[in-house]
Structure 1
Amino acid sequence: MTREIKPELLDELLSGLERPEDLLGDAGLFRQLKKALMERALGGELTHHLGYEKGDPGGRGSGNSRNGHSSKTVLTEEGELDLSIPRDRAGTFEPQLVPKGVTRLDGFDDKVISLYARGLTVREIQGHLKELYGTEVSPDLISRVTDAVLDEVKEWQARPLDACYPIVFFDALRVKIRDEGLVRNKAVYVALALDVEGHKHVLGLWIEQSEGAKFWLKVMNDLKTRGLADILIAVVDGLKGFPEAIGAVFPETIVQTCIVHLIRNSLAFVSWKDRKQIMPDLKAIYRAENAEAALDRLAAFEARWGARYPAIGDSWRRAWEHVIPLFAFPPDIRKMIYTTNAVESLNRSLRKIIKTRGSFPSDEAATKLLFLAIRNAGVHWKRPIEWTAAMGQFAVLFGERFALSAS
């Protein structure tokens, strides 16, 4: 219920205030009001518990009465707040506003988690709270607050999925994680899906525990166990064995190699002085009108550059089966499906969060931070502008399979 505060009361409260700190400082009006209101509310809770007002003769002989106050310091979003908590003689009073054993009010934990999600370390959060609020918080308390997110992570990782997603992008980022006393450079795989309305969803995070196809098969089976029955197009980063793992679980899925990854791998062979000349020839391949024209342009590329950089043409031909699916779509829709730019945009925000970390102490610690960063990033996601046109194309190309995703 929203209650209007009378202007006369506000004028009375604000009279005599001359400086900003008189309102917002450690001894300012805001803190005084919060303390006074909370203590008044706690007194009201005790009155309700006892069944009579303070000083009411009707309370005599009731078997219980007020028994002074105890002091308690709680952590709030604005720092520490010292409260007087009323007591009863029978010891049966259980405050609801500040329950027994609770030393942090609503909002404080959210503040800590928000700082953690932005990449601050436990020690940095400790210093931040000390600097802004004058609050001494132990690293152990901050760790306990952020660890509470793990239950939410587990629930998110196991949540049911839609039966079908038109497009799912699979990509990986590298994270340093301590494992059995050694720091390993592990791959964290991210699956970013577009649903039938073009809205983005991160389906999950998987930290690589084994090499190659076995790991990717585990990821696919995990998605299927959670209710995903079909993927129309899977865009992958070209790792060996990944298309086979997708095909084993989702046999009708079209697997599209990420062209950006293919170009990036091609340029790894090229000297800096040749890159500006080579890029237009590479773009000409995937911007061709159709698959036949693309193959002709690949041959032209090899005729010009093959003697100097034979590995580039070889890598494109090895991946050709998974390069050409994009030519079934018009150019404006190709841009949306031939690259993992959507997931790479997410990965950039994740890398920004983790770049200050030397390493994570465990897989759980890495998953916790990445989950929080994904949750923050999701606020800014927008539907692709090409999606309305894409829906018509998908309906024609995939028929009943697309209808299933739309139902």
Structure 2
Amino acid sequence: MNWSNGRRDEGARAGLTLCRSYVAAYVHCAPVHHLLYGGDRCGAVHWWIGSRRDGSEILGIWLAPESGRQACRQILADICHRGLERIRFAVTDNPTAFGEELRTQFPGTSPLPSFATLLDRSVRQVQPRDRAPVKNHLVAILQAGSSQAAQQSISAFESSRWAARYPALVTDWRLALDQGRLLWSLAPTLRREVLRGDARATSLHLSVGRALARHGGVADPSAAPSFVQTALARAQRRFDAARSTATRAQRPLLEVSPFRGVALGG
């Protein structure tokens, strides 16, 4: 992963250009508290990871007062100004709210739900003893070969005892399948590529969230993007080391299931 574009937005606007086209962009943000003018205020740090056929890179890291539509509009204008012309898919945990702004700036882009984020959130909602079987049911939905097969898989989950214990999961996953039904119309290799990138980006996002929680508030809000960049780079090095170890042991990492590397609550 190339970190050359992962600077504060002042640096990004100073001329850090982007590629013209990306297969997918993975959109994440995390709240950050800063002690500005003697008060505890909350903002949000946003970061985007762009995926191409030859790899991925940070598109930018931005600090915004809040994670609303205005922040989204400013970020989209920034990456457009820096040369990005086309995103085929934008993966986010709120595709409905995000999609309108996205399609205005980049017509033809398809917003998709982050299934990796949904999977992690879903497993965190269940009791520890139920996590493995629930995760297996949910991953089976994502591994389905067609939209019809995915619907059959969620129906099988809905009739299981786990759905009876956790009915909110059925609602969440049916909504996500409706928002992300385009995925199952893609060629299998492209679908796996998008889902695998989602898993990697979400794993990095969870690492950054833990780092921010450990760090606590920041005295200078302008330091938050640099902190996130450092945390992302550190998490990526861990991922690369794990992938290298798996390669030497001839064990495919994130190949059997693109969600094998997504951290789960414990």
Could you state the TM-score of these two structures normalised by the residue count of structure 1?
0.49
Counterpart CA distance in 2 for 1:179 and 1:335 is 44
1:350 offset after TM fit, Å?
A: 4.5
Structure 1 letter corresponding to 2:76: M
Task: Give the equivalent residue in structure 1 for 2:46.
Answer: 189
Offset of 1:161 from its aligned partner?
Answer: 2.2
Residues 251, 329 of structure 1: CA spacing in aligned structure 2 closer, same or farther, 3 A cutoff?
A: same
Following TM superposition, where does structure 1 have runs of at least 4 consecutive aligned residues deviating by more than 6 angstroms? 375-382
Are positions 1:280 and 2:136 aligned together? Answer: yes
* Structure whose alpha-carbon radius of gyration is higher: 1
Report the residue type matching 1:155 in the other structure.
G
1:215 Cα shift?
Answer: 2.2
Show the counterpart of 1:318: 175
Q: Which runs of 5+ in 1 are unaligned?
A: 1-150, 386-407
Matching residue within 195, 201, 215 for 1:357: 215
In the alignment, the residues of structure 1 paired with residue 34 and residue 48 of structure 2 have an alpha-carbon distance, to the nearest angstrom, of 20
Matching of residues 180-259 of structure 1 within 5 Å = 180-198=37-55, 200-238=56-94, 241-259=97-115
Cα 1:347/1:276, change in 2 over 3 Å = closer
Larger RCO, structure (CA 8 Å, separation 6 or more): 2
Q: Does 1:301 align with 2:171?
A: no
User: 1:292 maps to what in 2?
Assistant: 148
Post-superposition shift, 1:197? 2.8
One-letter identity of the residue aligned with 2:166: Y
Contact 1:153 1:371 in 2 (8 A): no
2:144 partner SS: coil
Q: Which residue of 1 aligns with 2:4?
A: none
CA contact (8 A) 2:95 2:179 kept: no
Matched, 1:335 2:189: no
> What's the RMSD between the two structures over aligned residues?
3.4
CA distance in 2, matches of 1:152, 1:211: 17
CA distance in 1, matches of 2:8, 2:124: 40
Structure 1 residue 244: Cα displacement: 2.8
Give yes or no for contact 2:9–2:61 (8 Å, CA) kept in 1: no
Give me the identity figure in percent.
Answer: 26
Give the SS at the match of 1:319: helix
- The Cα shift of 1:326 comes to 2.5
What residue in structure 2 maps to residue 264 of structure 1? Answer: 120
Aligned ranges 1:64-143 → 2 under 5 Å: none
Q: Identify if the C-alpha distance between structure 1 residues 175 and 228 changes in structure 2 by more than 3 Å, giving closer, same or farther.
A: same
Partner Cα separation in structure 1 for residue 237 and residue 169 of structure 2: 39
SS in 2 for 1:155: helix
CA contact (8 A) 1:234 1:256 kept: yes
Q: Which one-letter code corresponds to 1:359 in the other structure? A: G
* Secondary structure of the corresponding residue to residue 241 of structure 1: helix
Q: Could you tell me the TM-score, scaled by structure 2's length?
A: 0.72
| Native 8 Å contact 2:9 2:60 kept in 1 | no
Gaps of 5+ in 2: 1-6, 248-266
Q: What is the total number of aligned residue pairs between the two structures? A: 234
